[in-house]
């Protein structure tokens, strides 16, 4: 029996009865993995080397810096998080700097599920999204039932977006059916909320695995794919991000659906952020240069972006003491 992979065929699995449905789903998931291309690591690194040598014109740099601010997911995911800290982060998301004119708001504030309602209230009347990590973040080491309950709780509290982590142990064992089913179940639990699927690429060992996990996540229902939790090193890197962007490109060509991308962790400078934007533009095109389809998960990045904007306006660098750390 021959199985042709398509998003329609994956969605239509539930229409197939009994044991045949099980066989059909297994064949479709196997097809996803087998159709993931092998990654030429040398080629990826050479392309990154070429792209990062490109410069942004001075006249366009200010627009690019402001664009990066608008793509920020300001995040606090510490054990010592308090309602006051979350409210302070929300205030910064709304107005990143008091004295710099025309600075856009951040795209989202990302918190733990028990802080969602506080963030939602603080951001009321704005277009800023509330994102919540879930599924036993950052390890993912829990039962599916608990992961689903946590997801539903975050959504009920007002989360617009859910950042889940895949079960890396199952993925690395080759248990792709488990990973696919779990992502699909979390997607269903999200309801109207968007789902970002964190691959934790620093634990996937190879670029081939990054590509397979990207493909699996998108076919299982991800609205965004995300590099990392920020708790494991290495976190986001340009080569890993390029592999994921190429997976998104191929998925769009095959299925006609745009999937978002979020590199997270390890992006601390405006220079590096602008290099990411160049790679996105050259790989996916300008349609992806919007907070709807590209985000930065790196709160420490915000201050360097603001410092660079201030430099563009005044010609001098302002002391980091003038920028809030939360």
Calpha distance 123→88 (Å, rounded): 11
> Which residues are identified as catalytic?
163, 226, 262
Other CB atoms within a 10 A radius of the CB of residue 320 amount to 11
Calpha distance 289→291 (Å, rounded): 7
The H or E element containing residue 53 is none
Task: Spell out the domain ranges in the chain.
Answer: 1-35, 39-314
H-only helix segments in the chain: 7-11, 18-35, 41-51, 58-70, 83-94, 116-122, 144-157, 168-172, 176-190, 207-220, 238-255, 270-284, 301-314
Confidence of residue 58 (pLDDT cuts 50, 70, 90): confident
Residue reference for tokens 């606090």:
76
User: Is the pLDDT assigned to residue 33 strictly greater than 60?
Assistant: yes
If you ran DSSP here, which 8-state letter would residue 299 be given?
T
pLDDT per residue as tens digits for the range 170-194: 999 999 999 999 999 999 999 999 9
Which tokens go with 138? 């950052």
Q: 202, 239 in Cβ contact below 8 A? A: no
pLDDT per residue as tens digits for the range 258-281: 999 999 999 999 999 999 999 999
Calpha distance 155→117 (Å, rounded): 10
User: Which is higher by pLDDT, 207 or 28?
Assistant: 207
Can you count the helices (H) and strands (E) in the chain?
Answer: 13, 7
Residue reference for tokens 């620093």:
202
Mean pLDDT across the chain, nearest whole number? 91
User: Is the pLDDT assigned to residue 18 strictly greater than 80?
Assistant: no
Q: What pLDDT sits at residue 70?
A: 98
Q: What pLDDT sits at residue 7?
A: 59
Q: Which of 326, 319, 309 is nearest to 273 (CA)?
A: 309
Q: 79, 112 in Cβ contact below 8 A? A: no
| CATH homologous superfamily, domain 39-314 | Aldolase class I (3.20.20.70)
Q: What pLDDT sits at residue 319?
A: 60
Mean pLDDT, residues 273-297 taken together: 97
In angstroms, what CA-CA distances link 306 with 123, 317, 320, 322? Answer: 21, 10, 10, 10
Mean pLDDT, residues 296-317 taken together: 88
Which tokens go with 14? 């539930």
């Amino acid at each position: 029996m021959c199985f042709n992979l398509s998003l329609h065929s994956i969605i239509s699995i539930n229409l197939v009865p009994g044991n045949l449905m099980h066989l059909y789903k297994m064949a479709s998931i196997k097809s996803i993995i087998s159709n993931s291309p092998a990654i030429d690591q040398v080629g990826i690194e050479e392309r990154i080397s070429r792209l990062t040598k490109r410069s942004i014109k001075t006249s366009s740099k200010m627009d690019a810096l402001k664009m990066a601010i608008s793509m920020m997911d300001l995040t606090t995911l510490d054990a010592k998080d308090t309602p006051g800290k979350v409210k302070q982060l929300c205030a910064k998301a709304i107005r990143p700097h008091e004295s710099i004119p025309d600075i856009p708001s951040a795209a989202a504030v990302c918190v733990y599920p028990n802080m969602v309602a506080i963030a939602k209230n603080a951001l009321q009347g704005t277009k800023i999204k509330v994102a919540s990590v879930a599924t036993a973040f950052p390890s993912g080491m829990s039962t599916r039932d608990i992961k689903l309950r946590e997801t539903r709780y975050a959504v009920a509290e007002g989360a617009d977006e859910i950042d889940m982590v895949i079960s890396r142990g199952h993925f690395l064992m080759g248990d792709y059916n488990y990973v696919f089913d779990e992502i699909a179940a979390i997607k269903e639990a999200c309801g109207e909320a968007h789902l970002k699927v964190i691959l934790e690429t620093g634990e996937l060992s190879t670029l081939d695995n990054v590509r397979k996990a990207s493909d699996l996540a998108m076919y299982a229902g991800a609205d965004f794919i995300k590099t990392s939790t920020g708790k494991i090193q290495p976190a986001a890197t340009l080569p890993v991000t390029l592999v994921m962007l190429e997976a998104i490109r191929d998925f769009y060509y095959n299925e006609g659906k745009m999937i978002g991308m979020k590199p997270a962790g390890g992006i601390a400078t405006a220079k590096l952020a602008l290099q990411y934007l160049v790679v996105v533009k050259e790989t996916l095109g300008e349609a992806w240069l919007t907070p709807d389809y590209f985000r930065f998960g790196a709160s420490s990045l915000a201050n360097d972006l603001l410092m660079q904007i201030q430099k563009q306006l005044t010609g001098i660098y302002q002391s980091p003491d003038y920028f809030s750390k939360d």
